[in-house]
Structure 1
Amino acid sequence: MGPRRIALAVALLAGLGYLGLSYLSFEMPETVVAAEDCGFLPDEFVGAGKLTYGCRQAWWIRFRHDKEVFSLPPVVTTLGFVGLAVAAARHRRRT
C-alpha cells in the first residue's frame, strides 16, 4: 500500500474516530437549562428528560451547535499528514 493510501486510510479512521468519540461522550440533556446549553430551544424539550428528537438527532444538533463540525477537518487533515509522513519515511527506508 502506497503512502497516499495509508494517509487516506489514517485520515478516514481519524474522522470516524472523532465522530465516534463525540457520539459516545454525548449525554441527553435532562433539564431545560441543559438543553438550552446544548443549543436546543425550549420548545424542543418536552420534559422528564425527553427531547422531541432521538439520541442520534440530538447529538447531531449539538455537534453542529457547539461548532464541533469546524474542529473535525483540522483533526482529519493533521492526522492524515502524520500518516503520510510516517508512510513516506517507511517507504523511503525500504527503497
Structure 2
Amino acid sequence: MFQRVQPILPTIALLGLIVYFVFHGLTGERGLLLSSQRQMILNARSEELGDLRKRRVDLEARARLLRDNSLSADLLEERARSLLGFADPKDYVIRTKP
C-alpha cells in the first residue's frame, strides 16, 4: 500500500504547503482580508499625527518667545503670574469658585 502512495507524497506535501501559505496570505496578520482594517488604523493615526504636529509647532513658537535672545516680556510675565499665583497691585482680582 505504501508503494502505491509513495509517488504522490511530494505532490501532497507541495499542495499542503501551497494551502498553508495561501491561507495565511489571506487571513494572517498582514493578509489581504485585513487591508481595510489596516487602512482605517492608518487614517486615524495620520489624523493624530497632524494634530500632534500642529501642537508641536505651537509649543515651539511659545518656547521661542521665552528664549534669551527674543524674550517676550508679556509672555514671561503671564507665565510667572499663572505659575506663582501673583497679581500686580494695580490689577483687579475677581475670585470665583472652582
TM range, smaller chain: 0.3 to 0.5
Q: Larger relative CO (CA 8 A, sep 6+): 1 or 2? A: 1
TM-score for both structures, normalised by structure 2: 0.36
The structure that has the greater radius of gyration is 2
Q: Which has the higher strand share?
A: 1
